[in-house]
Structure 1
Amino acid sequence: MLMPTLLIVTFLLVFYALFTAQNAIVHYNSAVTAERAAFNWSHAESEFATGAYEDGRYDGLYWRLTDDALLQGLFGWTAGESADSLTFPGAADPRDRLTLRKLYPAAEALSENWEGSIRYERGGIQREIAVSAADPGELSPLALLRGSSVASSESSAPVTEPAEWMRTFDLVRYYTAKVKREGGGAESYLGKAGSLLGRKADAQSQ
């Protein structure tokens, strides 16, 4: 009885070691993908692996405006969806929404070996890229030990754009001062300014 027991325990330990290694690989890849997507966020046309982009290929100046809670509050814009997401594998190349086009290279990079989703989440002034990835393969004996036989991971990385943050802050400060000078016509002035900036943002988000 001793040898069969030792053999079973040995196999379980081997399976557990394989699962732990696979879990680490999934976590590493999801974390790297989230960080690269966040790093490249300011340039939709950049090379995903390196962040390099062709000279003169820039995103529009106004596309982020309706995505910022500070400006939504100032101009009375209604908040849009709090997250944009793509699932992989099988994610179609989205041409109708800029945020999804920015997520697509990351989803494509993970789709060869993993399945899951990548999301652009925003709330208040915080924005981040969140990745959920799992290995489609299963090690069924491990379900008895840890309740799951699938190696999976969730990672996130903040989207930081210091220059854009400063520009947004200056824009809010400028219009706040203008509104104070307008007095009774402040609401009408904000409505016109918000309408103009909103049209620019919508045009560049496509």
Structure 2
Amino acid sequence: MFLVRLVQQLAVRHRRLQSLRVNEEGSFTLEASLVFPLILLCTVTLLFVGMYAYQNVFVQQLARTAAERLAFSWNNSHKDLVTGNYNPSETDGLYWRLTHDSVTDLFGMLSGSGTTEVIIPSGSASGHVENKLAKSSALLPQGVTGTAKYANYLFDHQVEVKLTKSFLMPKQLKRWLDSEQTTGRAVSHVVESVELIRLTDITRTYFKAIKGRISPQKAREALVEPIQDNLSGPSVSIKSERQAAAYLKSLVGGTEVILTTTSGKSRTVDALDARGIGHQAFYNMTEFQLRTEQMPKDIELLDQRTQVKGIVWHFFKKDASGKGMPSNSFRKELERKGIVVVIHN
């Protein structure tokens, strides 16, 4: 009897062990609970790395944009950094490149004076070069800081912008990336071909003909800026479409011509200049009329490229409010079609 009971107990234990081996209920939950923290950690890490890479590219693009716009507007500190617009009567003077462009001892040895650097964003700056560099502060969003530097190497002028932006991330990730902020650096060259030729000519002229006859001090004193005058020209009052067309003819030196489009429509151009550019004056016409009547004809002429080489639309304001001027969306549409828009005050 004892032997029979022992065999029965062993059999029961064996069946229980077999049932545990065969039953997999809850195994997926157990495995998921072990693997999920690792997956979550990898996901969060990839998320922060992606955000860090995006911000790094964003800051680099900001630096490149700021450097390019500073270099583009360097010849006139009154230029708008975004559009490049400026009032013709506002200039930096005639001799600013010889006296206020980081030039050292121009008439003694003719050399650049190294670099000028400012911290941006900056509310104010002292000096001509510093003010130009500080203008880039308007391009920076909140939280972005850095420096803007200008270097005059006489025949190579460079604008360098370095930007940084803090980035919040876990401590372990900071150690891995070895950085707590994103950075961007860009260098742009100030290109002024005409001024380079002038500088070369004055160098050749001075060292050959003037040096030895006049002292460097007197040469510097001779660089007196002329009295600033209104360079915008005489004021003209436009009160009609015909008067606007007549003024445009005298402005560009063009003549009125009648052209025929590829579809057989007649197109009267107010002033066709010597280069083959057609200029059209607008004073009273609405956007609907321009879009339905004038624009299709000019697009045909531009596509043809035989009668005109370009089309410029001149809009004359009726009053200071600018009523009747083309909207921004219409101006962009015209530019996409190849039509240049000029607004006359």
> So what's the TM-score if we normalise by structure 1?
0.80
Once the two structures are TM-superposed, the CA of residue 83 in structure 1 deviates from its matched residue by: 1.7
CA 1:105–1:191 in structure 2 vs 1: closer, same or farther (change >3 Å)? closer
Q: Give the equivalent residue in structure 2 for 1:156.
A: 187
Match of 2:177, as an amino acid? R
Once the two structures are TM-superposed, the CA of residue 159 in structure 1 deviates from its matched residue by: 1.1
Q: Give the equivalent residue in structure 2 for 1:183.
A: none
Match of 2:160, as an amino acid? A
Match of 1:133, as an amino acid? L
Match of 2:137, as an amino acid? A
Q: Give the equivalent residue in structure 2 for 1:103.
A: 133
**Secondary structure of residue in 2 paired with 1:116:** strand
CA 1:32–1:190 in structure 2 vs 1: closer, same or farther (change >3 Å)? same
Task: State how far apart, in whole Å, the 2-side matches of 1:79 and 1:144 are.
Answer: 42
Do structure 1's residue 45 and structure 2's residue 78 form an aligned pair? yes
Describe the superposition over 1:169-204 as per-residue Cα deviations: whole angstroms up to 9, x where unpaired: 11011113315xxxxxx535253553335x648xxx
Task: State how far apart, in whole Å, the 1-side matches of 2:205 and 2:176 are.
Answer: 60
Describe the superposition over 1:69-123 as per-residue Cα deviations: whole angstroms up to 9, x where unpaired: 6x8475336754x22222123x1322x4111111122123215340111111223
Q: Give the equivalent residue in structure 1 for 2:219.
A: 194
1:8 to 27, 41, 49: 41
Match of 1:44, as an amino acid? S
Aligned length: 190
User: Quick check: which has more Rg, 1 or 2?
Assistant: 2
Once the two structures are TM-superposed, the CA of residue 35 in structure 1 deviates from its matched residue by: 0.2
Match of 1:194, as an amino acid? A
CA 1:124–1:142 in structure 2 vs 1: closer, same or farther (change >3 Å)? farther
Task: Give the conservation status (yes or no) of the 8 Å contact 2:107–2:216.
Answer: no
2:120 to 88, 93, 113: 88
Task: State how far apart, in whole Å, the 2-side matches of 1:118 and 1:26 are.
Answer: 14
- Please give the residue correspondences for 1:114-133 in structure 2 after superposition, counting only pairs within 5 Å: 114-133=144-163
Structure 1 unaligned regions, length at least 5: 180-185, 202-206
Tell me which of the two structures has the higher relative contact order, counting C-alpha pairs closer than 8 angstroms and 6 or more residues apart: 1
CA 1:50–1:113 in structure 2 vs 1: closer, same or farther (change >3 Å)? farther
CA 1:20–1:106 in structure 2 vs 1: closer, same or farther (change >3 Å)? same
Describe the superposition over 1:104-155 as per-residue Cα deviations: whole angstroms up to 9, x where unpaired: 2212321534011111122342211111111133324432322113111111
What is the root-mean-square deviation of aligned Cα atoms in Å?
Answer: 2.5
Match of 1:196, as an amino acid? E
- Please give the residue correspondences for 1:26-65 in structure 2 after superposition, counting only pairs within 5 Å: 26-65=59-98
Task: State how far apart, in whole Å, the 2-side matches of 1:128 and 1:142 are.
Answer: 36
CA 1:142–1:47 in structure 2 vs 1: closer, same or farther (change >3 Å)? same
Deviates more, 1:163-172 or 1:138-147: 138-147
Do structure 1's residue 165 and structure 2's residue 190 form an aligned pair? no
CA 1:118–1:193 in structure 2 vs 1: closer, same or farther (change >3 Å)? same
CA 1:139–1:188 in structure 2 vs 1: closer, same or farther (change >3 Å)? farther
- Please give the residue correspondences for 1:136-151 in structure 2 after superposition, counting only pairs within 5 Å: 136-140=166-170, 141-151=172-182
Match of 1:121, as an amino acid? A
The structure richer in helix per residue is 1
